Amino acid sequence: MAESSSILPGATIGILGSGQLGRMLAMAARTLGYHVHVYSPDSNSPAGQVADREIVAAYDDLDRVREFARAVDVVTFEFKNVPSATSRAAAEVTPVRPDGHVLHVTQQRLREKTFLQEHGFPVTPFRAIHSLEDLELATRELGLPGVLKTASFGYDGKGQQTVRSEEALPGAYDLLRGAEGIYEAFVDFEKEISLVAARTADGAFSAFPVFENTHHHHILDVTFAPAAIPPALATQAESLARGILDALGVVGLLTVEMFVTRDGRVVVNELAPRTHNSGHLTLDACITSQFEQQVRAICGLPLGSTGLRTPAAMVNLLGDVWFDAGGTPDWSAALSDPDVRLHLYGKAEPRRARKMGHLTLSAPTVDEAIRRVRMARDRLVPSRHR
């Protein structure tokens, strides 16, 4: 199959990973007329519940990976911690989009930051950390406070800590537990934004509106669009995203997480070669959702319009809501606002800090959308609205 040839509805898409992003991707693919197979170590997974086939096997079982790839027409990812060997094994059999090279760069913070720096994209100053002496030198060169992270397999704030004093360095280094680390200079940022963009094999590019994000305990809490930034900064963010997708040769979707500094600059924070939590509002607020766009991009179809129909906001529903409600949340109370849209991910067991679903709401203004969707989430816990 030629790299640029279209994979038309009726074909089968394979997804490595089976969480909520894979679930919503599978639903979009099936709406477009594709079959979906998912592969992960988990059974009865969020994506597996809506796929045509759920293959349950280890990512390092490369024979099973090749068998999975032989039964599909294209393979994509729903999370970035799939081992590189897995993507290489799949690519021996069928196209993998984005290419495993993209996954390799973006799943390790040092590789990612080095790639961005070498290609001239603005990033926070950083140093590789392999010893306590490296950390001590990094803090002298980049200053305190700063952020120490594990180089690999971090998300939702896992594997990162703020270092504020020289006395804290030994303890902070010990928390790496021997893993490779990265120390980043502290960014005095005003807000966090993200941009989800798509690129096809022939280089066509399309970006969604810039999303503005607020976090709670390092986990995304609220996203809204359009972001409250000047048009020039939105244009700059889109230009950075286009440059990054082109430099990586992305075929599919890539999310660029960025900081807006207090002096009005945009700095790239992290990359995700997939759909993104902050893009969930596109399901209800945009002409084309981020999940449909990923299908279009990896299958060589024309990209869909990313236009925002109306201002919108999204709130995450973590497992904490179930605990705070003392059991099942009050879904009827949340949905008493007829403009609220509820999305649950099919996870059997709520756990604190676990993403269980989200709510979205569109309104005439961003402020109204944020206010009403937060109120809807509050109504899930009876004690908060008595």
Give the pair of three-digit tokens for residue 223: 């996203």
What CA–CA distance (Å, rounded) separates 288 from 152?
32
CATH of 12-96, one of 3.40.50.20, 2.40.10.10, 3.40.50.970, 1.10.240.10: 3.40.50.20
Q: What is the pLDDT of residue 170?
A: 96
Q: Which of 212, 306, 174 is nearest to 253 (CA)?
A: 306
Give the pair of three-digit tokens for residue 368: 């109204």
The per-residue pLDDT for range 251-307, each reduced to its tens digit, is: 999 999 999 999 999 999 999 999 999 999 999 999 999 999 999 999 999 999 999
- Residue 79's pLDDT band (boundaries 50, 70, 90)? confident
Q: What is the pLDDT of residue 159?
A: 76
CATH 3.40.50.20 segments of the chain: 12-96
CA 381 to chain centre: 27
Q: What is the pLDDT of residue 2?
A: 39
> Which residue pairs, CB below 8 angstroms and at least 24 apart, start in 287-292?
289/24, 289/28, 290/196, 290/208, 290/253, 291/21, 291/24, 291/25, 291/27, 291/28, 291/29, 292/28, 292/31, 292/32
CATH architecture of the domain with range 125-185: 2-Layer Sandwich (3.30)
Residue count (the chain) = 386
Which whole number is the average pLDDT over 56-73?
Answer: 98
What CA–CA distance (Å, rounded) separates 39 from 68?
7
Give the pair of three-digit tokens for residue 57: 């096997």
Residue 253 in contact with residue 275, Cβ under 8 Å?
yes
Whether the per-residue pLDDT at 1 is higher than 80: the answer is no
Question: Bigger pLDDT: 5 or 212?
Answer: 212
Residue 312 in contact with residue 369, Cβ under 8 Å?
yes
Amino acid, res. 250: V
Which whole number is the average pLDDT over 337-366?
Answer: 97
DSSP alpha helix (H) spans, the chain: 20-31, 62-70, 84-91, 100-106, 109-118, 132-142, 169-174, 231-248, 282-285, 290-299, 320-325, 331-334, 366-379
Q: Which burial class, exposed, middle or buried, applies to 77 when counting CB atoms under 10 A from its CB (0-12, 13-18, 19+)?
A: buried
The per-residue pLDDT for range 42-64, each reduced to its tens digit, is: 999 999 999 999 999 999 999 99
What CA–CA distance (Å, rounded) separates 29 from 39?
16
Q: Which of 254, 246, 208 is nearest to 103 (CA)?
A: 254
pTM of the predicted model as reported, rounded to 2 decimal places:
0.95
- Secondary structure (3-state) at 371: helix
CATH architecture of the domain with range 189-384: 2-Layer Sandwich (3.30)
Whether the per-residue pLDDT at 4 is higher than 60: the answer is no
DSSP 333-357: HHTTSTTEEEEE---SS--TT-EEE
Whether the per-residue pLDDT at 317 is higher than 80: the answer is yes
Q: What is the pLDDT of residue 160?
A: 87
Q: Which of 157, 144, 162, 153 is nearest to 109 (CA)?
A: 153
Q: From residue 44, give the alpha-carbon distance in Å to each of 39, 41, 56, 79, 341.
A: 11, 10, 9, 17, 24
Amino acid, res. 218: H
Q: What is the pLDDT of residue 3?
A: 45
HSE (CB half, 13 Å, CA atoms) of 369?
24
What CA–CA distance (Å, rounded) separates 75 from 80?
13
CATH 3.30.1490.20 segments of the chain: 125-185
CATH 3.30.470.20 segments of the chain: 189-384
Whether the per-residue pLDDT at 102 is higher than 90: the answer is yes
Q: What is the pLDDT of residue 147?
A: 94
Element (H, E) at 256: strand 252-261
Which whole number is the average pLDDT over 156-173?
Answer: 88
What CA–CA distance (Å, rounded) separates 96 from 363?
38
* Helices 109-118/231-248 angle, 10° precision: 110
Mean pLDDT of the chain: 95
The per-residue pLDDT for range 131-150, each reduced to its tens digit, is: 999 999 999 999 999 999 99
Which whole number is the average pLDDT over 339-343?
Answer: 98
Amino acid, res. 85: A
Residue 306 in contact with residue 84, Cβ under 8 Å?
no
